[in-house]
Amino acid sequence: MIRLIRLEWIKTFSKWRTYIGFIAIGVVLPLIFIGIKLDKGRFLTSSPGYIMLEQNFHIIGNLLNGFFVSQLAMYFLMVHIPFFIALVAGDQVAGEAAAGTLRMILIRPPSRLKIFSAKAAISLIYTAMLVLCLAVLSLGLGVLLFGTGDLLVRTEGLLILTKEQVLWRFLMAYLLAILAMGVVASLALLLSVLVENAIGPIIGTMAIIIISVIISEAPISLFEGIRPFLFTTYSKVWQKAFLDPLPSNDILFSIIYLFIYMMLFLGVAFTIFNRRDILS
């Protein structure tokens, strides 16, 4: 099994598209941070909440610090990361089918379950790597450029987390983000076993995500009954890692839902993959 995963790793990382996500994060993140640095965080100090606080209170301490900009980067980039994940996970089976190598793989001794598991594992590993890349780069560069300090959480009212609390909150947020993005990878893999061209699963995954996000967030009462059944309703669970007090029940509930969705997508994907006649 490990040999299969290693083989899938080599195949995946020998493609240029695999690096697009890392390159995008590596380019966009420094751009955002340098922009904030040059702008001296005016977007924060000119926000209505900050202006009102500053009018009434002496504000002591550095709110524009590495932790704050890292949290901001998470908000910015977590919207776009599903695309990079779909680009790689959506190519796992469909890409091989399009290239005509899938039939060749399947006639070899490893079972379809093992082959699918290796592909699923690589998709999830890639997802985790992408989120961890965001974590290391944003926290590293953020602290380097802006230093450390208490974290101003983007929420209603004013919520400040102490420097001591921040690191484990970030760790939890990134782990939750990996889980949420894992569901996206599973969905892309499911669409990947359905078609024989690489572009279909990518567009399909993004289309499903966009529609689900609209239904999940639009303040339309008609959608209220549908929302609990959409995985996008729970995919922003990482944001709850910064709340105080920590909404443990909500987080646990979201983890269970996301895990069920991931298993469901992978289960359906494997069932289709296992029964499918590979003609190409």
Does 79 bind other proteins (CB under 8 A)? Our answer is yes
Site mask for other proteins (CB under 8 A), range 155-174, x = bound: xxxxxxxxx-----------
Does 59 bind other proteins (CB under 8 A)? Our answer is yes
| Binder of other proteins out of 17, 154, 240, 276 (CB under 8 A) | 154
Instruction: Decide whether 13 or 50 has the Cβ nearer to other proteins.
Output: 50
Instruction: Decide whether 223 or 259 has the Cβ nearer to other proteins.
Output: 223
CB hemisphere CA count around 86 (13 angstroms): 21
Six-digit token pair at 267? Answer: 């289960």
How many CB atoms sit inside 10 A of residue 113's CB?
12
Going by C-alpha positions, the residue among 17, 266, 25 that lies closest to residue 131 is 25
Window contacting other proteins (CB under 8 A); options: 114-122, 177-185, 217-225, 270-278: 217-225
- Least gap, CB of 278 to other proteins (angstroms): 40
- Least gap, CB of 264 to other proteins (angstroms): 25
| Binder of other proteins out of 19, 31, 47, 267 (CB under 8 A) | 47
| Binder of other proteins out of 14, 16, 56, 249 (CB under 8 A) | 56
CA distance linking residue 176 with residue 163, whole number of Å: 20
In the block, residue with structure tokens 């910015």 = 76
Does 248 bind other proteins (CB under 8 A)? Our answer is no
- Least gap, CB of 261 to other proteins (angstroms): 20
Torsions phi, psi for 152 (to 5 deg): -85, 115
How many CB atoms sit inside 10 A of residue 137's CB?
19
Six-digit token pair at 89? Answer: 């996970």
With H, G, I as helix, E, B as strand and everything else as coil, classify residue 152: strand
With H, G, I as helix, E, B as strand and everything else as coil, classify residue 185: helix
User: Which parts of this chain interact with other proteins (CB under 8 A)?
Assistant: 47-50, 52-53, 55-61, 63, 72, 75, 79, 149-150, 152-163, 213, 217-219, 244
